[in-house]
Amino acid sequence: MKVLVCISHVPDTTSKINFTDGDTVFDSQGVQFVINPNDEFGLTRAMWFKEKQNATIDVINVGSSNTEPTLRKALAIGADKAIRIDSEPIDGMFVSKEIAEYIKSNHYDLIIAGRESIDYNGGMVPGLIAGLLQINFVTNCTKLEIEGTKATFEREIDGGKEILSCDLPLIIGGQKGLVEESDLRIPNMRGIMQARQKPLEVIPPSTSSSKTKSIKFYKPAPREEVKLVSPDNLDQLIDLLHNEAKVL
Amino acid sequence: MSVLAYVESFKGKIKKNALEIVSYSRELAIKLDTNLVTIVLNVDDTSELNKHGASKVLKVTNSELESFDAKLYANVIAQAAKANNSNYIVLSSSLDTRYLAPLLSIELEAGYISNVVELPSSLNPFTIKRTSFTNKAFCDSTIDSDIKIIGLSSNAFGISENNTEGLLEDFNPTLSEKKITINSTEKVSGKISIADADIVVSAGRGLKGPENWNIIEELAETLGAATACSKPVSDMGWRPHSEHVGQTGKPVATNLYIAIGISGAIQHLAGINSSKIKVVINNDPEAPFFKAADYGVVGDAFDVVPRLTEKLKAFKA
């Protein structure tokens, strides 16, 4: 079984979010980048397929050379090969077209992406790739088993869950539940050393077009100081919620 | 040209979030000087849609569409868009709709922007505001394609009533083959889900143990709210994973979010930030959540929560 895991290179959750160039570009100065958490759940699940079902795991990213440490980390966790499509990502459509082009000439049985990245939060890349390649697709995927050419999986729905099945090839938008947080792996020294020897293929972008552009970023207005209510005066809290906030 | 709004339903009833989609789409149609068309699947009574401004309702009735299938649903919406020359399609942020949106985007070769929080600020170039960086920032985005898909954030716009004379049309799409089989569905019944709730009552480690959740449930019941929890609480198995809200859990965009005994880790705040009003009850005045909240009570949850519930019962009565 051949598995491709799409890796988004994102600022760590605790990073300060600032913008530069007249608020048109994310300011990456001093920011620690990590594997997108939703992708990391998927990558860790893929490692299970590698160890138990002999799968080979490739990881792919669309980005500049700045994203290579993130791909190396994925290799150190245990992926076999990394592919970087050498282009700044413009929007979800651009990234999806680039990845879909690569998949067209390199067959995969299973493609794992995260339900969304924690930076642009578009939540569309796995679905767009599925649409472009006309393959089966599920998002908010919280469990995944593969047997032969059949996949059985769980999807989170509003207020519950669904168990589904379909034939491979399949692309999923994964999230926590595929594995638990405690299953996530920190690369050990041996993994890090091995990762240096593993192939990291850099390929030029095809000529994908985008359909949307992020033109200006801004941060929310600083919020007002919290209004503290004494625990002995809860009527005041109800009054504020009713008359001032108008949410009761 | 027209605006097409996809109206979600559950078991033959129009979902409340769909009325927000219709209200938004009506304003968008006015801005564009065009008509609003709505499409709804397997719902008998659609009069509610006219009440919120739909001038044309496409009614699809087909037992094959009883259960959700992203590909089939996307294809049905695409057929409706083509039949009505719709170049703007408005979708909600429910899990099902976010699932079908990218598939629809490919079918219509449309640019798709999710997490939209306002009407477009400019029509040419088409520019619209969305949240990004998990609610830590906003972003103005343009859509350059002829057909545009807007995914509206929950509770970003509100519901307005505008009685409109409506045209009702039966719409009969051709259906493609289902590729994904549903083996089983588990839905917590009788309990309001986090996605559908106007109010969410959420609790964390400060509750000390799962046996103490009765005070949370009673407060939630009094308010007609959904219950949620912080990540450590679901990791320790005190509450089901489905209640975990935060960056890796469920996002919450509700009118009122009440956090009890939750310190307010940045990952938690990222998931709940787009809620309108946040109330924190915590005995630690230094808890970071107080910096992100609108109202706060510094006090012991076991003392404050039951008294608040009693007062709310009296207030509601």
The residue extents of the domains of chain A are 2-215
Give the closest of A119, A140, A167 to B95, CB-based: A140
Task: Name which of B122, B133, B78, B129 is nearest B100 in CA terms.
Answer: B78
pLDDT of B21: 97
- Chain B stretch 7-66, residues whose beta carbon is closer than 8 A to a beta carbon of chain A: none
Q: How far apart are the first and last CA of chain A?
A: 54
pLDDT of B233: 95
Task: Identify all chain B residues contacting A126, using CB atoms and an 8 Å cutoff.
Answer: 102
Given an 8 Å threshold on Cβ–Cβ distance, is A159 in contact with B188? Answer: yes
B185 neighbors A157 (Cβ within 8 angstroms): yes
Q: Is B90 at the interface with chain A, CB within 8 A? A: no
Give the closest of B133, B198, B303 to A17, CB-based: B133
Comparing alpha-carbon positions, the chain B residue that sits nearest to A216 is: B140
Task: Identify all chain B residues contacting A152, using CB atoms and an 8 Å cutoff.
Answer: 183
CA distance B211 to chain A (A): 23
Sequence-distant (6+) residues with CB within 8 A of B202 are B227, B228, B229, B230, B245, B252, B257, B258, B259, B260, B262, B272
Given an 8 Å threshold on Cβ–Cβ distance, is B102 in contact with A131? Answer: yes
Given an 8 Å threshold on Cβ–Cβ distance, is A181 in contact with B235? Answer: yes
Confidence of residue A220 (pLDDT cuts 50, 70, 90): confident
Task: Identify all chain B residues contacting A215, using CB atoms and an 8 Å cutoff.
Answer: 127, 140-142
Q: Is A37 at the interface with chain B, CB within 8 A? A: yes
B105 neighbors A93 (Cβ within 8 angstroms): yes
- Chain A stretch 179-238, residues whose beta carbon is closer than 8 A to a beta carbon of chain B: 180-182, 210-220, 223-224, 226-231, 234-235, 237-238
Q: Is B248 at the interface with chain A, CB within 8 A? A: yes
Sequence-distant (6+) residues with CB within 8 A of B200 are B194, B225, B226, B227, B228, B245, B252, B254, B256, B257, B258, B275
Instruction: Report CA-CA distances (Å) from A226 to B153, B175, B288.
Output: 25, 53, 11
Task: Identify all chain A residues contacting B101, using CB atoms and an 8 Å cutoff.
Answer: 124, 127
Q: Which CATH architecture has domain A2-215?
A: 3-Layer(aba) Sandwich (3.40)
Q: Is B145 at the interface with chain A, CB within 8 A? A: yes
Given an 8 Å threshold on Cβ–Cβ distance, is A14 in contact with B139? Answer: no
Dist CA A124 CA B99 (whole Å): 8
Mean pLDDT value across residues A85-97: 96
DSSP β-ladder status, A19-20 and A25-26? antiparallel
CA distance B160 to chain A (A): 16
Dist CA B219 CA A244 (whole Å): 21
A142 neighbors A154 (Cβ within 8 angstroms): yes
Burial of residue B158 (CB within 10 Å: 0-12, 13-18, 19+) is exposed
DSSP state of B12: T
Confidence of residue A13 (pLDDT cuts 50, 70, 90): confident
Given an 8 Å threshold on Cβ–Cβ distance, is B95 in contact with A156? Answer: yes
Confidence of residue A207 (pLDDT cuts 50, 70, 90): confident
pLDDT of B190: 67
Given an 8 Å threshold on Cβ–Cβ distance, is B138 in contact with A218? Answer: yes
Comparing alpha-carbon positions, the chain A residue that sits nearest to B254 is: A247
Task: Please determine, for residue A16, whether its predicted confidence score (pLDDT) is greater than 70.
Answer: yes
How many CA atoms does the CB half-sphere of B13 hold within 13 Å?
A: 4
Token pair of B16, please? 């409340």
pLDDT tens-place string over residues A108-132: 999 999 999 999 999 999 999 999 9
Dist CA A68 CA A196 (whole Å): 11
Q: Go through the domains of chain B in sequence order and give each one's CATH number.
A: 2-170 (3.40.50.620), 199-316 (3.40.50.1220)
Burial of residue A104 (CB within 10 Å: 0-12, 13-18, 19+) is exposed
Neighbours of B316 (CB within 10 A): 11
Identify the residue whose tokens are 């049905």. Answer: B76
How many CA atoms does the CB half-sphere of B195 hold within 13 Å?
A: 22
Given an 8 Å threshold on Cβ–Cβ distance, is A131 in contact with B145? Answer: no
Task: Identify all chain A residues contacting B242, using CB atoms and an 8 Å cutoff.
Answer: 156, 159-161
Confidence of residue A148 (pLDDT cuts 50, 70, 90): very high
Task: Please determine, for residue A224, whether its predicted confidence score (pLDDT) is greater than 90.
Answer: no
Query: Tens digit of pLDDT per residue, chain B (317 long)?
Result: 999 999 999 989 999 889 999 999 999 999 999 999 999 999 999 999 999 988 899 999 999 999 999 999 999 999 999 999 999 999 999 999 999 999 999 999 999 999 999 999 999 999 999 999 988 899 999 999 999 999 999 988 989 998 888 899 999 999 999 999 999 999 876 678 888 889 999 999 999 999 999 999 999 999 999 999 999 999 999 998 889 999 888 889 999 999 999 999 999 998 998 899 999 999 999 999 999 999 999 999 999 999 999 999 999 98
Asked, as a colleague might, if the bond just before A205 is cis with ω within 30 of 0, I would say no
Identify the residue whose tokens are 């459509």. Answer: A93
- Chain A stretch 131-160, residues whose beta carbon is closer than 8 A to a beta carbon of chain B: 131-132, 136-140, 142, 152, 156-160
pLDDT of A241: 97
Task: Identify all chain A residues contacting B244, using CB atoms and an 8 Å cutoff.
Answer: 176
- Chain B stretch 270-309, residues whose beta carbon is closer than 8 A to a beta carbon of chain A: 270, 276-277, 279-280, 290-300, 303-304, 307-308
pLDDT of A230: 97
Q: Please, what is the average pLDDT of chain A?
A: 96
Given an 8 Å threshold on Cβ–Cβ distance, is A247 in contact with B199? Answer: yes
Mean pLDDT value across residues A95-108: 97
Give the closest of A166, A175, A247 to B181, CB-based: A166
Q: Is B256 at the interface with chain A, CB within 8 A? A: yes
Task: Name which of B136, B98, B72 is nearest B250 in CA terms.
Answer: B98
Given an 8 Å threshold on Cβ–Cβ distance, is A131 in contact with B267? Answer: no
Q: Is B235 at the interface with chain A, CB within 8 A? A: yes
CA distance B208 to chain A (A): 20
pLDDT of B187: 83
Give the closest of A165, A213, A242 to B141, CB-based: A213
Task: Please determine, for residue A1, whether its predicted confidence score (pLDDT) is greater than 90.
Answer: yes
pLDDT of B189: 66
